Structure 1
Amino acid sequence: MFIQIIQGSCRRQDECRRLMDEWLADIAPGAVGWLGGTYGFTDDGQLVAVVRFESREAAMANSAREEQGAWWSRMEACFDGPVEFHDCDRVVMMLEGGSDQAGFVQVIRGRLDDPDALESGMREMETLLHEARPEIIGATFAIEPDGTFTETVAFTSEAAAREAESRTVPDSGPMHDAMASWDRMVHDLSFHDLHHPWFASKA
């Protein structure tokens, strides 16, 4: 899987959402290799789009389409300034990656010291999280060559996520050890809440 993250300040949100719906209706059917996406606006007016493709080649082929270029020229005008693109060939999924039925999504960006350690420990982490945090439906880790990552976490609801966050992590045991390992592995974290996310997946 290949993931492209698109992010930028966007005050023309209604127009942006209309254009996104237009893309899904008119352009997505011809986008070979497009798998789906998670979208939403943050509290500070950022559009965050986490778009999944079968491969980098499929994503680049879609970008080269004439209709894609024409659509993007209109979409780009909705942003207040430069738009960030993060292309990630390395993708690690947790609990099958999530669900289009999620009620709340949190996007976490940061730096990862050892992507191999993350991937090798994911199965154990999945088991622990499934037991301790059942409101987490799943997540994707999209990792750039320099270790920068974007984690997209799908929750059943924001209320359930906040309630679970308020619980104290045990002082010992497998979950404590897993959280301590995670804290050592990542740094420079920033959190972007999508209170009203929307989703799309290839039919």
Structure 2
Amino acid sequence: MFIQIIQGKCTRQDELRALADTWREEMAPSADGWLGGTYGFTDDGQFVGVIRFESREAAMRNSERPEQGEWARRMTALIDGPVEYHDCDDVTLMLDGGSDDAGFVQVIRGKVDDPQGLKSLMGDTDMLHELRPEILGATLAIEADGTFTETVAFTDEESARAGESKEMPDMPAEVRETLETVMQGAKFYDLHHPWFA
């Protein structure tokens, strides 16, 4: 799987949402290898889109379509300032990757020195489900330089906050150290009204 993250400040949110709906209705059926996406706006007006494709090659074929180029120009015009893109070939799914039934999504961006260690930790779905039963699923996308974007789908925000406030259970020291290191300096983007395609 390949994931592309698109992010930018947006004050014209209704227009961008409508444009995204237009893409889903008119262009998605002919987008080879497109698997879906998670989208939303943060309270401070950041648009975040996490788009999944079968492969980088499929994503690039989509980008090369003239109609996609035109759509991207229209999207960029609705963003206030530069658009940030992150392309990730290294993708791990947790608990099937997420759910369109999620009422709250948290996107976490950070950097990790040991991507394999983080992937192993996040791949332990039994432990994840035991620690945070309110998590419906997640994706972990890692770039070549160790920058990661984790997209976590929750039943609702209230459950997510309750889970955050729980004391961490006993766990091996290396696991706790990995978690603490990863979250140090990470940025959190809360999508209170996510939508999915």
Task: Calculate the TM-score normalised by the size of structure 1.
Answer: 0.92
> 2:9 maps to what in 1?
9
Give the distance between the partners of 1:68 and 1:46, measured in 2 at CA.
Answer: 22
CA contact (8 A) 1:112 1:186 kept: no
> 2:139 maps to what in 1?
140
Give the distance between the partners of 1:99 and 1:185, measured in 2 at CA.
Answer: 24
CA contact (8 A) 1:112 1:187 kept: no
Residue type at the aligned position of 1:144? E
Deviations 1:34-87 (CA, angstroms, capped at 9, x unpaired): 000000000110100000000001001100101111111111110110000000
Distance 1:49 1:67, change over 3 A: same
> 2:126 maps to what in 1?
127
The Cα of 1:163 is off from its aligned counterpart by 1.1
- For the pair 1:70 / 2:55, whether they are aligned, the reply is no
The Cα of 1:119 is off from its aligned counterpart by 2.3
The Cα of 1:131 is off from its aligned counterpart by 1.5
Task: Calculate the TM-score normalised by the size of structure 2.
Answer: 0.95
> 2:106 maps to what in 1?
106
Deviations 1:70-106 (CA, angstroms, capped at 9, x unpaired): 1111111101100000000100111111111111000
Give the distance between the partners of 2:132 and 2:173, measured in 1 at CA.
Answer: 13
Give the distance between the partners of 2:130 and 2:82, measured in 1 at CA.
Answer: 41
Moved more, 27-36 or 184-193: 184-193
Residue type at the aligned position of 2:188? F
Give the distance between the partners of 1:138 and 1:70, measured in 2 at CA.
Answer: 33
> 1:24 maps to what in 2?
24
Q: CA RMSD in A?
A: 1.5
CA contact (8 A) 1:6 1:86 kept: yes
> 1:199 maps to what in 2?
196
Structure 1 gaps of 5+ residues are none
Give the distance between the partners of 1:178 and 1:199, measured in 2 at CA.
Answer: 32
Give the distance between the partners of 2:100 and 2:87, measured in 1 at CA.
Answer: 22
Give identity over the alignment, percent. 63
Moved more, 5-14 or 180-189: 180-189
Structure 2 gaps of 5+ residues are none
Give the distance between the partners of 2:161 and 2:49, measured in 1 at CA.
Answer: 23
Secondary structure of the equivalent of 1:121?
helix
Distance 1:187 1:145, change over 3 A: farther
Give the distance between the partners of 1:11 and 1:191, measured in 2 at CA.
Answer: 20
CA contact (8 A) 1:103 1:196 kept: yes
Q: Aligned pair count?
A: 197
Give the distance between the partners of 1:26 and 1:184, measured in 2 at CA.
Answer: 43
CA contact (8 A) 1:111 1:187 kept: no
Give the distance between the partners of 1:121 and 1:163, measured in 2 at CA.
Answer: 22
